[in-house]
Amino acid sequence: MIIAVTGKGGTGKTILAALLTHFISKKSNRVLAVDADPDSNLPDALGVAELVTKTLGEIREVFQESRDEMGSMNKEQWLEGKIYSEAICECDNFDLLVMGRPEGEGCYCFANNLLRGVLRKLMRHYDYIIIDSEAGLEHFSRKTIEGADYIIVVTDMSKKGLATAKRIKELSEELELNFKEIYLVGNRITNKEAEETIKKFAEENGLKLLEILPYDEKIAELDLKGLPVTLLPEDSEYMKKVKKIADHFIELSVKVR
Ligand SMILES: Nc1ncnc2c1ncn2[C@@H]1O[C@H](COP(=O)(O)OP(=O)(O)OP(=O)(O)O)[C@@H](O)[C@H]1O
Ligand SMILES: [Mg+2]
């Protein structure tokens, strides 16, 4: 099951992706978290930044520079080996892959084609893949999220947050991405009126409202101290609701199987 967390910038995607990884990996030891934001911060949110040695982008660069000297060596095998030994970070209960920055100048088609095959193979080792996406919509038009089963769009109470959610729904139809479901999650919602607005918005736009998360001052506190969000107390309203989201996906995957 591939779950991609998307939405406008700064709405709380990374925190939600980190906590879904945290909760789901308590129930399954086959969880892969993917940081697909070039401005990577999922490892920090999970508190495992020191374990990340290389990004997928860095391995692609090394490959691009040295492929001419590889001669008859099996290049796919080389990439596969590098990814497993250097880019997949084995954390407590889950693995983590950081995509890194996009490619430099030159033609990366060959590298990217090989990478696609290796990643497809790699993904089969996991029951749950949780992707923290880059803000906005560009990755949708590039179809990098094509393989996701479920999309979570995180929005705050801003007009722009809701507009991005609407556009994601429209784009996925235009591009025929065929997600099993596009969910909406409201975050940092502080009053009933805002809650009602989001509920109405979801109904009107054919998005399934998954949860409405409150503002939690402890999140900013941890952020300021550079501590991982996984340290949030499990009895807080925010954490209880995120756990409910995680349980929803676990239940769904049991049903599908
Ligand atoms: N429910 C919440 N209560 C309080 N603060 C929050 C909440 N959710 C997120 N924040 C704060 O909002 C900021 C952005 O959160 P986060 O990094 O998860 O967003 P993002 O959508 O991943 O951002 P970006 O688009 O830059 O990747 C963080 O500083 C975080 O501390
Ligand atoms: Mg983020």
Q: What tens digit of pLDDT does each residue of 65-121 get?
A: 988 888 888 999 999 999 999 999 999 899 999 999 888 888 888 888 888 888 889
As a whole number of Å, the CA-based R_g of the chain is 19
Query: Is pLDDT at 25 greater than 70 in this prediction?
Result: yes
User: C-alpha distances in angstroms, 109 versus 52, 83, 106, 114, 134?
Assistant: 26, 18, 9, 9, 22
Tokens of residue 237, six digits: 């309203």
- Give the separation between CA 122 and CA 130, rounded to whole angstroms: 14
Residues lining ligand 2 (ion), CB within 5 A?
13-14
Looking at the DSSP bridge assignments, the partners of residue 108 are: none
CA-7 nearest atom, ligand 1: 21
Closest CA to 44 of 247, 218, 231, 185: 231
> In sequence order, what are the residues at sequence separation of 6 or more whose Cβ sits closer than 8 angstroms to the Cβ of residue 35?
41, 42, 43, 96, 97, 98, 99, 132
Phi, psi of 40 (to 5 degrees): -60, 130
What SS3 class is residue 46?
A: helix
For residue 187, the CA-to-ligand 2 centroid distance in Å is 14
Ligand 1 neighbour 14 (Cβ under 6 A): yes
Amino acid 144: pLDDT: 60
Ligand 1 neighbour 8 (Cβ under 6 A): no
For residue 127, the Cα-to-chain-centroid distance in whole angstroms is 15
Amino acid 153: pLDDT: 97
Decide: 45 and 113 in contact? Cβ < 8 Å: no
- Give the separation between CA 248 and CA 229, rounded to whole angstroms: 21
Going by alpha carbons, the residue nearest to atom 16 of ligand 1 is: 12
Higher pLDDT, 235 or 106: 235
- Give the separation between CA 78 and CA 109, rounded to whole angstroms: 17
Domains of the chain: 2-256 (3.40.50.300)
Tokens of residue 86, six digits: 């250097």
- Give the separation between CA 142 and CA 164, rounded to whole angstroms: 16
CA-15 nearest atom, ligand 1: 18
Tokens of residue 14, six digits: 């990374």
Query: Is pLDDT at 139 greater than 80 in this prediction?
Result: no
Helix (H) or strand (E) holding 123: helix 109-123
- Give the separation between CA 185 and CA 208, rounded to whole angstroms: 9
- Give the separation between CA 257 and CA 252, rounded to whole angstroms: 9
For residue 148, the CA-to-ligand 2 centroid distance in Å is 18
Amino acid 136: pLDDT: 82
Decide: 148 and 131 in contact? Cβ < 8 Å: yes
Going by alpha carbons, the residue nearest to atom 18 of ligand 1 is: 12
Token look-up 């990340």 returns 52
- Give the separation between CA 209 and CA 192, rounded to whole angstroms: 15
Q: What percent of the chain has pLDDT over 70?
A: 97
CA-187 nearest atom, ligand 1: 1
For residue 10, the CA-to-ligand 2 centroid distance in Å is 7
Over residues 42-68, the mean pLDDT reads 93
Ligand 1 neighbour 223 (Cβ under 6 A): yes
Residue type, 180: K
